Structure 1
Amino acid sequence: MNSKLGFLSVVLLGFNAIVGSGIFLLPNKAVALVGPFALVVVVFVALLTISIALCFAEVSAKFEKNGGAYVYAKEAFGEFVGFEVGFMKWAIAIIAWATMATGFSEALGAWIYGSSELPISFKAIVASSLVLALTLMNLAGIGLSKFFNNLITLAKLTPLLIFIFVCLWFVKAENFQPFLVLGTSSAGEVLSFSAAFSAAALVIFYAFTGFESLAIAAEDYKNPKKDLPRAITWVMIIVCVFYLLIIGVAIGILGLDLAKENAPIAAAFDRIFSGYGASIVGIGTLISIGGIATASSILTPRVGHALASDGLVPRIIAYKNKAQTPVVAIIITGVLTLALVLYGTLIGSFAVLAAISVISRFIQYVPTCLAVLVLRKRKDLPQSSIKVPSFVPVIAIIISFWLLINANGEQLIIGLGGLVVAAVFYAFAKLAGKKF
């Protein structure tokens, strides 16, 4: 089995890393804020996120090593900035993987137990088993992981394609009228257009994130300098088309009633298939969460491997076996993820930990977008196959600051706290001998 990922596999990995259970729950929140105008918001956000993705695409063509945003920040702005980006990315990716594993156990539990309260032991066993299985699969080599990722991505596409092409015939034009309907605040007051638009854009924005992870595993791609920029671009275009079709079909079937549904895609399916929608969407949700967990199991350890390769965490973490599998990074990542899963299912909650993700996105996007302008001047680096206009990184940076400004106070405090923790680890590395 080929041990490297070709272009199609990289595209499928990127799609898997972005499209998750959120697409089954997204449309109601956006439509509640702006009505069918949510389709315009999707296009707007797609253009914004594509501008950020294009920055990743340009700088990714200059490197063939693991790490993604960490590598770009380190090369453009030095070791400390790179470490801050890499440390936060690794920590958040582990938290995200643990959260998804727990979410999978809850989705499966809802399927089995219905409305009954889920046994804690059930959630712990299912979530832990998923993490262990994906860790073992990853240890077996990128070839097996590639096969499973491709398989589950295609399985994820199936219910979405069924929804689009079957339900498309039941779309009614009158359900798109009125096209703009402003939502209300928690106090019951009608929102201004700008407030409703920005709130809807934020909801949709997070559904597009995940593309930045695609560059992390560059060493496991057949031709990263050529395939990665193209893959990032194509993934974003495909996801944008899928989101437009899915939200458009859901609105076309349910109209403004979609805003009242907690599970809008299931409700649209039920309207067509008379009660079978919940079952179809339940299967799709499980596959989607499992798919993102699979992509996380592949990508997350590669961040730790990149940090270790540069001596910013113990070098033993960079060890690869004869098959070029970063086994130590995979084991450490798996153990930490398993510990968080057990914490989340048996003891506490992931709500506080997951809040850091807002800042994590910010500190990956801004340095990478700035790196586009800095690394272009480096004569020792190869020219990129994609060169974006200089205004694109500027727009992308503005978007990232907009994202940060719209984060709540708790997220900002926790996220900044994560940066402080990263700085402490960096200082420790220096005091321990500059390099581990």
Structure 2
Amino acid sequence: MKEKLGFWSIVLLGINCIIGTGIFGLPNKAYAMIGEASVGVIIFDALLVISIALCFAEAAGRFKVNGGPYIYAKEAFGTFFGYEVGLMKWLMGIIGWATFAVFLGNRLALVFPMFDTPTGRMAIAIFSILFWSVVNLMGVRSSKIVNNIVTLGKLLPLFLFIFAGIFLFGKVDTATLAEGAAIASPNGNTLVEAAILFFFAFTGFEAIGIAAGDMVDPQKNLPKAIVVVMLIVSAVYIAILLICMKVLGPSLAVSKAPVAEAAGVLLGKGGKSFIMTGILISIIGINMAGSYTSTKSGVALAETGLVPEFFLKTNSKGVHYNAVLASMFGTIILAMSGSFAALASIGVIVRFIQYIPTCAAVLIFRKRDRENGIKYDGFTIPFGSTVPIIALVVSIILLIKAGIATPHKIVYGLGGLVVVAPFYRFSKERMQKMDEKVALGGAN
């Protein structure tokens, strides 16, 4: 019998999907923009993101198949909308994985100078892609074990840092810290910029539901796991920002590695080295998460007929090996071409074509339940429609603000949606046949 992800493995996968390297460099950027107001902004952002995540949690409780936001959009708005979300999600997953792999190559080249050449850095990136593909081909058990170890490995330095910040602050000498830069009083524009900066640091939770088919009782465990993940990540982010501000003071604004420098103040050189190791583990971990979720995106599309059933062929471990290989080769090609950086610009649109439809889908699913006299006994967001509406409005506002700040990313993203649209007709017949199988109980 195929092994599946239990509750805590789902939680660790979610944390691994969110916590990358951004949080290690985020406190200085936010503090330089708005100073101590960054605390209020990150708490505000955490509440906003949790409201969106709650919508994902309620939607996830209705399905036990792979797909996540793709399935929610398809069931709420129809196959074409699902097609756009699903295909763009798979593409963005591959682009993201290529970005992570190249970033890993660049970082490891700094640690091992013999690889500090274009060929050496690319060799590391390709080896990473191949390695994680092999891990995925070995089955869910292997992926689960490795993900759990890597995620705990990235959390350990962060928890040690937080523990040290709570219990050691006031017992260390901060007199040698650099002078800080002058911080302008925050205004509406800088507050919005900081809010968008923090918001994207929380993203990644939307990928958890993509692998629902690999989970034990996903309709029960996935909603709870999403909530737990967001509470843990929010607490970690807020604690890190507060400790960096308290330890580094005004010098935080000019710090190049705030968490590592604060750890150095609290724990000495060993603490700083430990955090630097944690950064490296985080990069490795986000590569693992990218490889796993991008592959599952392809599987979800094949399960509903969007792409050929060729991608549903499995090996002796129950792994859809053609989906793994397709994602692997696509990632290698993008990494070697160097074009992923420009393609990554579609990420803003891809994020929000998952958030906005999912928030709206919750309201639509509830309306259908009422009209059909169905009593849904899964996870339900409290306070009626208030939270989904807030999440929907906030998502739209953030998309507009992000579009104003970086209009080219919106143009690229919309362009991507237009480019893939004509190919829908080639998939429509396959999707209809697969829907018939699902209706007959032949696919689940």
Asked if these proteins are the same fold (TM beyond 0.5), I'd say: yes
- Do the aligned partners of residues 172 and 426 (structure 1) sit closer, same or farther apart at CA in structure 2, a change above 3 Å counting? farther
1:267 alignment counterpart: 261
Match of 2:342 in 1: 352
Higher mean C-alpha deviation, range 425-434 or range 97-106: 425-434
Structure 1 residue 182, shift from structure 2 partner: 12
Paired residue for 1:309? 303
Partner of 2:417: 419
Pair 1:373-2:363 in alignment: yes
In structure 1, how many angstroms separate the alpha carbons of the residues matched to 2:231 and 2:56?
A: 15
Structure 2 counterparts to residues 113-152 of structure 1, below 5 A: 113=113, 118-152=116-150
Equivalent position amino acid for 1:400 in 2: S
| Pairing of 1:183-262 with structure 2 (within 5 A) | 190=184, 193-262=187-256
Which residue of the partner structure matches residue 15 of structure 1?
Answer: 15
Distance 1:122 1:321, change over 3 A: same
Counterpart residue identity of residue 150, structure 2: I
How far 1:22 moved relative to its partner?
0.6
Equivalent residue pairs, number: 419
Does the 8 Å contact 2:304/2:431 carry over to 1? no
Partner residue in 2 for 1:392:
387
Retained in 2: the 8 A contact 1:14–1:232?
A: yes
> Could you say what secondary structure the match of 2:35 adopts?
helix
Cα distance change, pair 381–85 in 1 and its aligned pair in 2 (3 A): farther
**How far apart in 2 are the matches of 1:414 and 1:278?**
40
Indicate if the aligned counterparts of 2:306 and 2:431 stay in contact, CA closer than 8 A: no
**For residue 19 of structure 2, what is the amino acid of its counterpart?**
V
- The structural deviation recorded for 1:161 is 1.3
Contact 1:139 1:325 in 2 (8 A): yes
Q: How much has 1:424 moved relative to structure 2? A: 2.3
Tell me which moved more, 96-105 or 399-408: 399-408
Which stretch of structure 1 is more off in the superposition, 80-89 or 415-424? 415-424
Residues of 2 paired with 1:183 and 1:311: CA distance?
Answer: 57
| Structure 1 counterpart of 2:439 | none
* 1:43-100 deviations in Å (ceiling 9; x for gaps): 1001000000000000100000000000000001100000111011111111111101
Structure 1, residues 74-132: CA drift from partner, whole Å, max 9, x if none? 0011000001110111111111111011111111112223xx99301111111100110
Residues 304 and 318, structure 1, Cα contact 8 Å, conserved in 2: no
Shift in Å, 1:183: 8.0
In structure 2, C-alpha distance between the alignment counterparts of 1:247 and 1:217, rounded to whole Å: 31
Match of 1:334 in 2: 328
The change in CA–CA distance for 1:14 and 1:29 in structure 2 (over 3 A counts) is same
1:220-275 deviations in Å (ceiling 9; x for gaps):
00110000000000000000110111111111100121011121112212333444
Q: Cα 1:249–1:62, aligned 2, differ >3 Å: closer, same or farther?
A: same
**One-letter amino acid of the structure 1 residue matched with residue 340 of structure 2:** F
Alpha-carbon offset, residue 282 of structure 1:
2.3
RMSD across aligned positions (CA): 2.4
Structure 1 residues 424, 434: CA separation in 2 closer, same or farther (over 3 Å shift)?
farther
Gaps of 5+ in 2: 175-179, 435-444
Residues 17-39 of structure 1: CA distance to partner in whole angstroms, max 9, x if unpaired? 10111111110111112212211
- Residue aligning to 1:98: 98
Cα–Cα, structure 1 residues 106 and 381, in superposed 2: closer, same or farther, change >3 Å? Answer: farther
SS at match of 1:215: helix
Retained in 2: the 8 A contact 1:62–1:381? no
CA–CA distance in structure 1, aligned partners of residues 34 and 45 of structure 2: 14
CA contact (8 A) 1:33 1:182 kept: no
Separation of aligned partners in 2, 1:252 and 1:433? 55
CA contact (8 A) 2:154 2:282 kept: yes
Give, in whole Å, the separation in 1 of the partners of 2:394 and 2:51.
Answer: 9
> Residues of 2 paired with 1:381 and 1:60: CA distance?
16
After the TM superposition, which of the residue ranges 92-101 and 266-275 deviates more from structure 2?
Answer: 266-275
Contact kept? 1:83, 1:312, Cα under 8 Å: yes
User: What amino acid does structure 2 have at the position aligned with 1:100?
Assistant: F
Q: Which deviates more from structure 2 when the two are superposed, residues 144-153 or residues 293-302? A: 293-302
> How far apart, in 1, do the equivalents of 2:225 and 2:170 lie?
35
Do 2:138 and 2:317's aligned partners in 1 also have CA atoms closer than 8 Å? no
Q: Give the conservation status (yes or no) of the 8 Å contact 2:105–2:124.
A: yes
Q: Separation in 1 of the partners of 2:427 and 2:182?
A: 50
Q: CA deviation at 1:416?
A: 0.5
Q: Secondary structure at the match of 1:355?
A: helix
* TM-score (norm: length of structure 2): 0.89
Residue pairs, 1:9-48, within 5 angstroms: 9-48=9-48
Give the 3 Å change call, closer, same or farther, for CA 245–2 of structure 1 in structure 2. farther
Tell me, yes or no, if the aligned pair for 2:244 and 2:259 is still in contact at 8 Å: yes
Residue pair 1:18, 1:209 contacting (<8 A) in 2 also? yes
The two structures have a TM-score, normalised by structure 1, of: 0.90
Residue of structure 2 aligned with 1:429, choices 427, 430, 434? 427
User: What is residue 163 of structure 2 aligned with on the other side?
Assistant: 165
Amino acid at match of 2:421: A
Distance 1:371 1:121 in 2: 46
Structure 1 residue identity aligned to 2:343: L
Q: What is the rounded CA distance, in whole Å, between the counterparts of 1:6 and 1:303 in structure 2?
A: 20
Q: Structure 1 CA distance, aligned partners of 2:195 and 2:381?
A: 27
Q: Deviation per CA, 1:377-401, whole angstroms, max 9, x where unpaired?
A: 2457954223343011111111111
Q: Is residue 207–residue 293 contact of structure 2 (8 Å, CA) maintained in 1?
A: yes
**Structure 1, unaligned runs of 5 or more:** 176-180, 185-189
- CA displacement 1:390-422 (0-9 Å, x = unmatched): 011111111111221122111011000111122
**Letter aligned with residue 366 of structure 1:** I
Q: SS in structure 1 opposite 2:63?
A: coil
The code of the aligned residue for 2:247 comes to I
Which 4+ runs in 1 deviate beyond 6 A? 181-184, 431-436
1:279 Cα deviation from its structure 2 partner: 2.6
Is 1:49 equivalent to 2:53 in the alignment?
A: no
